[in-house]
Structure 1
Amino acid sequence: MIDHSVFFGDGPRLFRLTDPMVIELERLTDTGIGGLFSRMTRNDFRLSDLIEVIRLGLIGGGTNPEEAARLVATYAKDRPIGEILPLALDVLDARWSGSETAE
C-alpha cells in the first residue's frame, strides 16, 4: 500500500502519491523523488516541498484539486513546520516504503 490515512484539518483524509502526482511533485520541486526523499529525511527541505507533498498527496488520495488547495491553505500554510513536517514525511514514506494503512 502507498496510502497514508490520518486526521487532517477537519476530518480523516487519505493521502496517496500516485505516479502522476510524483511526476508533478518532481516538476514543482525541480528534484527527483529520491533526492527529495533524501533531502527531507535529513531536514534539508524547502517549505514549499512540504506543502506540495501534502497537497499532491490529498489529490492522489481522491480529494479534488480545489478542495486540496483549500485544505492546505487553511491547515498547512502558516503553521509551525513541526506540525506539517511529520505529515509530509509520512506521505512520502508511504510511497517510498509502503504503509500499514488498512482499507
Structure 2
Amino acid sequence: MLTGASLVLLPGAADTAWAPATCFVVGALGWLLWHARRADRTPPGDALALTALGLLVLAVRVTALYPWLRVPGAGLVRGGGLGQTAALVLLTAALAVTAGRALARR
C-alpha cells in the first residue's frame, strides 16, 4: 500500500524499495524492543529469520538507491535512502548480535 501511494504521489521520483525497508525498520525495531522487555526469551530462530530478512531488504535498498547517486537534483531521495540504509544496517547488526547471544545460550 505504501509503495502504491508513493507511485501515485511522486510518479517522477518513485522509489519502490523505501516502503518495504520502512516496514522492516519499524517491525524490527518493535521486535527488538519487545524482546528486550520480555523475561522469557524467544528461540534464536526469530532473530535469525529477521536478520536474514534484514540482509535481503538491505540488498534491495542499496540496489534501488544506486541509480539515484548520479542523478542531479535528487538530494532528497539520496538523503532519505542513505538514512534508511544506515537504519537497516544498524538494526540488522543488532538482530545478528541478538541471534548470536540466543544461540550461545542454547
Answer whether TM exceeds 0.5 for this pair. no
> TM bucket by the smaller chain?
under 0.3
Which structure carries more helix by proportion? Answer: 2
Q: Which has the higher contact order (CA 8 A, sep 6+)?
A: 1
| Higher Rg of the two aligned structures | 2
Which structure carries more strand by proportion? Answer: 1
